[in-house]
Structure 1
Amino acid sequence: MTDRELPIPDFDHVPLGNLAEHLVPLDRDQLGVLLEHETAHGGRLPVLELLRHRIEALDAGAEPKGSVPADLPEVSGGTPAPAEVSPATAGPKINPPSQGVPTNPAQPRR
């Protein structure tokens, strides 16, 4: 099954903080598809727990509400990362601590 066939577009890229709200519109069968996909591909425990809790809620009488947008704003567009580090994108220059070299604090500086 491709990502396009999943009930949530770009499911693997939806941030965990937004995932719960995207599960509310789905029925039990759609959640089962996502649970099967996540188990086979990512196996991310927080995602599996969210899916299982939503399935339990539906089994307890909750109803799907709303609809999943075709294009989720949090996974599309955005500013692409720079291809390479330049002086404009580099972090600040730091000096090693006085007690030693940062990669080996036990070794004195020269």
Structure 2
Amino acid sequence: MADPARTGLPLPDYDHLPLGGLESRVRSLSAGEVEELLAYERAHADRVPVTEVLTARLEQLRQGAEPTSGDPDALRPERGGGRAGSPVTPATSPQPFGPPPHGTPDQRGKPKGDRT
């Protein structure tokens, strides 16, 4: 069930943004929108690095900074078009190796004989 407070946020994917993506995307928000995110963050996760980013941006806006378009190349989880699969190829995989010198689990040891 979706949290109604989460669906009304200025950044719909806010909870999934990495800190670097948040820093660049929050630049497009107004002071009121940043205040809304800051209140949501403090009421929910209250992550110190996130509140520091939001507080710093709010202060910049109060000192006269204007919202900008932000970084269009910022990490955006909603795109989801990242590379899938493993980056390992036969050219990058390690060389095969033999079993350890003490044998393998399917090779039973032989009794040592009579020790007295």
Q: Aligned ranges for residues 1-12 of structure 1 at < 5 Å?
A: 1-12=4-15
Matched, 1:44 2:47: yes
TM-score (norm 2): 0.59
- Kept in 2, the 8 Å contact 1:8–1:68? The answer is no
Other-structure match for 2:107: none
C-alpha distance in 2 between matches for 1:68 and 1:47? 17
Unaligned runs of 5+ in 2: 86-99, 101-116
Unaligned runs of 5+ in 1: 81-94, 96-110
Deviation at 1:67, TM superposition (A): 6.9
Correspondent of 1:30 among 24, 30, 33: 33
Relative CO higher for 1 or 2, CA cutoff 8 Å, sep ≥ 6?
Answer: 2
Give the superposed CA RMSD: 2.6
C-alpha distance in 2 between matches for 1:26 and 1:3? 16
TM-score (norm 1): 0.62
* SS state at 1:74 partner: coil
C-alpha distance in 1 between matches for 2:70 and 2:49? 22
Higher Rg of the two aligned structures: 2
Q: Aligned ranges for residues 1-110 of structure 1 at < 5 Å?
A: 1-66=4-69, 74-76=76-78, 77=80, 78=82, 79=84
